[in-house]
Homo-oligomer: A and B are copies of this chain.
Amino acid sequence: MHPFVFALDLLGTFAFALSGATLGVRKHFDLFGVLVISFAAAVSGGIARDLMLGATPPVAVASWPYLAVSCMAGLIGFYNGPTVERLRNPVQLFDAIGLGLFAVTGASKALAWGLEPVGAVLLGMFTGIGGGIARDIIANRIPVVFQADLYAVAALAGAVVVVGGRSLGLPPGPLLVGGAALVIFLRLMALRRGWQLPVARPRD
């Protein structure tokens, strides 16, 4: 993996781990439970991606920096809960950052492993949303991805930027940064301005 992609991947790991820690503290998990949900939120998407690529063992298991970064975020979330909570919607903010970074690094890795564009976009999106799904299922709530405005679709947009841009021959660095920024922008607009997709009205 390119060092720049690796750095973005670790940053996404930190952000998702912090979102997991914040949720775990709210749910009264103990110290180690908080570390485990932090790690699950941080690496589930990447592990699913690596399993689907046949890239075993998954990098998050085989390589210690992911564990170290996620434990660091978990400890910060555990011991500085009030400080983190003072931020506005910290779970949502860190979640948005992790979503953006993982969507672009996931799509990038899928391309590097030879997937076709459609598959690479799907895996990029799934790398982004997988951690949040695992985190929310663990906390026994409907994953935010299925009800939040512009969530999976934001991750999709970020993955499309990377995959589309690469197939046009554009350089990877700006695509990764631009794709991640687009995801974060879309999520923040959805959260602050209420941008949303239509919701069907069931009969019941």
Instruction: Find out whether the CB atom of B142 lies under 8 angstroms from the CB atom of A139.
Output: yes
Check if B57 sits within 8 Å of A57, measured CB to CB: no
* Chain A contact residues, majority secondary structure: helix
Per-residue contact bits, chain A 1-44, to B (CB 8 Å; 1 contact, 0 not)? 00000000000000000000000111111111110110000000
Interface residues on A, range: 35 or more
Expressed in whole angstroms, the minimum distance between the Cβ of A121 and any Cβ of chain B is 10
Flag if A146 contacts B200 (CB, 8 Å).
Answer: no
Give every chain B residue within 8 A of A82 (Cβ-Cβ).
203
Shortest A67–chain B CB gap in Å is: 7
Q: Does A140 touch B at the CB level, under 8 Å?
A: yes
Question: Do A202 and B52 contact each other (CB < 8 Å), given the known contacts A64-B118, A123-B61, A197-B30?
Answer: no
CA of A151 to CA of B53 in the docked complex: distance in angstroms? Answer: 31
Docked Cα-Cα span, A196 to B61, in Å, equals 27
Given the interface pairs A53-B57, A61-B52, the reply to whether A140 lies near B141 with Cβ below 8 Å is: yes
Contact pick for A51, options B51, B122, B149, CB 8 Å: B51
Residues of A within 8 A of B (CB): 24-34, 36-37, 47, 51-54, 56-58, 61-64, 67, 78-79, 81-82, 85, 115-116, 118-119, 122-123, 129, 133, 137-143, 145-147, 149-153, 156, 196-204
B119 with A29: CB separation less than 8 A: no
Q: Judging by beta carbons under 8 Å apart, are B29 and A118 in contact?
A: no
Q: Is the CB of B199 within 8 A of A28?
A: yes
Residues on B with beta carbons closer than 8 Å to the beta carbon of A123: 57, 61
Taking a contact as CB atoms closer than 8 A, the residue among B31, B57, B140, B202 that contacts A25 in the complex is: B202
The reply to whether A56 and B67 form a contact with Cβ atoms under 8 Å apart is no
